[in-house]
Each structure stands twice: as structure tokens, then as C-alpha cells.
Amino acid sequence: MVVTANDAGTTVQLTVGQTLTLILTGSAAIPWRGLSNSAPAVLRQLPSPLGVLQPLGSIRAVFQALAPGTARLSAASVPSCLSQIPACAVPERSFSVLVDVTAG
């Protein structure tokens, strides 16, 4: 299953053993940061393959469902121009998706 920024605010269903690929496309000016997983015992992030380059400011992560339960994946996108004076008018973005894992 692939989850993108368009899936923000939704709940996705997995069974134990299935994988979820999270792709958040950003840029140097508007990067995604701070990916967090509320329940690593339910949903484990797998190591990134060696040699796979991520576009600047983007997040690509693969998770495996380990046990029944619920996990929340979240990240934020804060435009770098917000720290400039005057700050830009580009809004911050947040991403959150609930992952419900069942025994299957």
C-alpha cells in the first residue's frame, strides 16, 4: 500500500506482515520533516535500501505491520522562508494518517 500527502487525515487498514510505503514529496524550499511513528511495536520502519536517493525535502519510508493495534504516522512541512524577515505567506502543512493493523 502506498500513502501520500493526499491521504492525510485518513485511516488505512493493514494486516500483520503487510507493508506500507509513505511518500511525502517536498522541496528544498518546502521540506517535509520530523516523521514520527506513535507505535513502533505495531508498525516498524524498515531500513532504507542502500543507494536510494531521496529528492531534497521529501520523505520516503517503508513500514511493516508487526502486531495488531493502531499507529499514527505524522510529519510537518515548514517552508524555509517562514524564518526570513519578512516571512513568506506560504502556510505550514501537517500530515497524519492512522494505521489500523489487524491479525488478518
Q: What domains, with CATH codes, occur in the chain? A: 2-102 (2.60.40.2020)
Strand order in the sheet with 93-102: 11-15, 93-102, 69-77, 32-37
Give CA separation, 75 vs 24, 61, 82, in Å: 9, 12, 17
pTM confidence score: 0.86
pLDDT, tens digit, 9 for 90 and up, residues 30-67: 899 889 999 999 999 999 876 666 778 899 999 999 99
9-32 pLDDT, tens digit each: 999 999 999 999 999 999 888 899
Q: Which of 5-9, 53-57, 82-86 has the lowest mean pLDDT?
A: 82-86
